[in-house]
Amino acid sequence: MESKLSHLGSMFHIAFRDIKENYPAIILIVISGIIAYSISTLDPAFDALFLALFIGILFGSAYRGERKEYISQKSLSVTLPIGIVLYGTNVVFPRGVEIPPVFIGVSLLSTLALGLSVFYMCRVINLSRKFTTLLACGNAICGASAIAIVSSIIQPRKEEFSASIIIITVVGLTGAITYPSLYYILELSDLKYALLSGSTLQQTGLVKIASKQLGENIEATALAIKAVRIAMIAVVALLVSFFYSDHRFYVPWYVVAFILLAFLSENFLPRQIIEVLQPLSTLAFSLTLASIGFSVNLSDIQNVRLSPLIIVYSGWFLSVSFVLLLMTLV
């Protein structure tokens, strides 16, 4: 008992010493995450995770202290598990919105098309396995959030992590900007436009951007369809854990907790509790992205070729075309 208490006291002593010695860097990371989260509350066009990464890179480039990598890793070890667990509250289908079963099928097929098309093209040009996985999962499911969850399992290089978030966000913003024009040009019904937005746009905030201006009903339906794709992150996390385990099937505890909280949120937790936990998840992820950006070397990101961006654009365009074709049949 005494040895356990001594060990616990030693851990607290080390943690306190780290905070004392590195508090300027810690403050910068926290400020980066809070600023990003605060801006994101103003409008869904401002994605908290992308902003946190960007601000973290700016502050990290200006910071001249040592041990940036160490500080970043310590911060990640706290904020990333919290963000992943709390993200389970986002796997909730909106109440009172009915989705035709065929639309759920189209959304699942779109998820496969978005992911597999990018995965195949990345492997053709011999992009690294981990970078490929990040791009495919981010494009198929829920953008930066999916990338953050998957990265906790596969441990990619930081420049691959950062580049994948930037690429997915750029492609997604292109869709959010152009989709309202497609609504009028193709004369889509409200329901089919909601299907297009929810089944092909990467981030939830982008779905809101594309659909909100066309009415609350379209937005609610689009978000419900998007929730189908978000729910797939639990399946993907398990598959990735299986394929990236060296000797045995291993799932991090926080992924298990995420799946459990997703189940509880959908079936048992009161709506009031979910609405409290969801922003905390975004804030934790913002601090995570700020931590990663803080230690990223800008030159490493600049060295990433244009081919991954072109591939994600191509995969997204093919998937949109595929969904539009399916919509003519339903």
Considering the domain boundaries, does residue 36 fall inside one? no
**Burial (CB count <10 Å: 0-12, 13-18, 19+), residue 4:** exposed
Within a domain: 17: no
Confirm whether 72 is domain-assigned. no
* Residue 26 in tokens: 């810690």
Take residue 115 and report the two structure tokens written for it: 């992911």
C-alpha–C-alpha distance, residues 232 and 253, integer Å: 18
Nearest partner of 289 among 20, 47, 3, judged by Cα: 47
Each residue's pLDDT expressed in tens, for the chain with a length of 330 residues: 555 445 434 544 455 566 566 788 889 999 999 999 999 999 887 899 999 999 999 999 888 877 788 888 888 888 999 999 999 998 888 777 888 899 999 999 999 999 999 999 999 999 999 999 999 999 999 999 999 999 989 989 988 999 999 999 999 999 999 999 999 999 999 999 999 999 999 999 999 999 988 888 899 999 999 999 998 998 999 899 888 876 667 788 898 999 999 999 988 999 999 999 999 999 999 999 999 999 887 777 777 788 999 999 999 999 999 999 999 998
Is residue 2 in some structural domain? no
Separation in Å, CA 104 to CA 45, 54, 107, 108? 26, 34, 5, 6
The boundaries of the domain holding residue 160 are 82-289+298-327
Q: How many structural domains compose the chain?
A: 1
Helix (H, G, I), strand (E, B) or coil at 128: coil
What is the pTM (predicted TM-score) of this model?
A: 0.90
CA distance 223 to 211: 9
Q: What contacts 133, CB < 8 A, 6 or more positions away?
A: 119, 150, 154, 156, 240
The closest alpha carbon to 207, from 224, 188, 189, 184, belongs to 224
In contact, 212 and 151? CB cutoff 8 Å = no
